[in-house]
Structure 1
């Protein structure tokens, strides 16, 4: 059973490749299930005045959904496509996020935190912001947002739950209690997280989340899915072989899959 639930495409502004190219690549790779999961449009900043390429324009969202569901039917005899959305959590914009999520019959919605206010902590163009802030307070703010995202009930799983470490900025203080608080919120919400392999191509050179957090998930019974977070078709399923080895080494025997917002565990 080969799956990849986290992918991005040309519409999001910072990826390349059409949706159909990902589908064709998934077939070539022999994927059993392919998740299409582009970024939700920005809600809290003006795209016209912000850094380019942050997310798909709002007017593109219906076209994304229409094309994704069309491809799901067109290729149903060759690959099982699940249509999703990475629904960025923005504190204070819960009503707008919920409206977008409810407007389409998604198979799944990823809850990810990229923004702390107008600062995108995952954008390499905004690294100078770290120089202006206390790293520990940033981690506190980030994991507080993750807890709030989990508590909304909007999401099927939390994406790259410790992506705050992406560029290698870490406080001197131990942050394990912050990570555990976020995982407790996930557990309480009854949702899953993903093992996002893309961290292996980031400065941190570690998957999201860390092995320690994965071991806590195993101990607490938090379900996991996997995703490459591919932003180019050629990176589809990149490092997922290593992700599977890591999960098996910890003791996981099942992965979470999603259809029509229902979770189903499958053996791997």
Structure 2
């Protein structure tokens, strides 16, 4: 299966990534992607840009090198009430928003109730489209609750390739369980690279390997169709 979109990529604006929006878009074009999300880290992460950066993404063109661009953010869940670190008025302007938990912002812990609560409450936010790398073993959760809530709220659960290859080692067990539950409940997932340089954009090999092991239905993987993804955003109130 040819996957045509990657919605979780970073630029030098994130502070610990190494290529620009233009370099990312050019590489995406060269490897045949049709849709690219640029989602730099929100302000609570060390080295991340000010909120004005996200408020001003409107100046960027919709098409770069023949690739349709979506401009958004990987927002940080900052507490167990599911709050995130961007003002609502900026959230509403973004094409796409991922909500994730990161150790520099939230202290890792073994309390599955608290971690699950943070994700579930973040999913009450109508501006959240994707839950990022929820398989992180530093924030254990109740996977079934997450999958059921994502189905209810029409939110995509990310299977993050970087979690298996460069960061969050040990995510494979939880991610496999999440994927199995998504298969059971019919909850849609999204494969994302979490690229911090252009050379990792569109690389999903490790994530695909896990999905093949559980015989994941292709119709639950939204990366297969640009039209399907844009229709998903339309259902969420976004006109691209």
Query: Could you say which TM-score interval applies, normalised by the shorter chain?
Result: 0.7 to 0.9
Determine if contact 1:195/1:208 at 8 Å carries over to the other structure. Answer: no
Among 209, 224, 234, the residue aligned to 1:262: 234
Determine if contact 2:74/2:99 at 8 Å carries over to the other structure. Answer: yes
Among 145, 149, 152, the residue aligned to 2:118: 145
State the partner residue of 2:58.
Answer: 66
Give the Å deviation of 1:145.
Answer: 0.3
Quick one: distance in 2 between partners of 1:241 and 1:155? 26
Quick one: distance in 2 between partners of 1:41 and 1:52? 8
Quick one: distance in 1 between partners of 2:22 and 2:234? 25
Aligned residues: 223
Determine if contact 1:40/1:56 at 8 Å carries over to the other structure. Answer: yes
The answer as to 2:91 corresponding to 1:101 is yes
The answer as to 2:157 corresponding to 1:193 is yes
State the partner residue of 1:136.
Answer: 110
Quick one: distance in 2 between partners of 1:259 and 1:243? 22
Deviations, residues 1-38 of structure 1 (Å, cap 9, x unaligned): 42211101111112111100000111122222221112
The answer as to 2:233 corresponding to 1:231 is no
What is the TM-score of this pair, normalised by structure 1?
Answer: 0.71
The answer as to 2:105 corresponding to 1:120 is yes
Task: Structure 2: give runs of 5+ residues left out of the alignment.
Answer: 223-227
Quick one: distance in 1 between partners of 2:85 and 2:32? 39
Quick one: distance in 2 between partners of 1:225 and 1:39? 19
Among 32, 36, 39, the residue aligned to 2:38: 36
Give the Å deviation of 1:227.
Answer: 0.6
State the partner residue of 1:241.
Answer: 205
Quick one: distance in 2 between partners of 1:62 and 1:99? 9
| Secondary structure of the structure 2 residue equivalent to 1:21 | helix
Give the Å deviation of 1:152.
Answer: 2.2
Among 147, 159, 166, the residue aligned to 2:132: 159
Give the Å deviation of 1:204.
Answer: 1.6
| Secondary structure of the structure 1 residue equivalent to 2:110 | helix
Quick one: distance in 2 between partners of 1:37 and 1:202? 17
Task: Structure 1: give runs of 5+ residues left out of the alignment.
Answer: 43-50, 122-128
What is the TM-score of this pair, normalised by structure 2?
Answer: 0.79
Quick one: distance in 2 between partners of 1:208 and 1:109? 25
Label 1:263 to 1:25 Cα distance change in 2 as closer, same or farther (>3 A): farther
The answer as to 2:56 corresponding to 1:84 is no
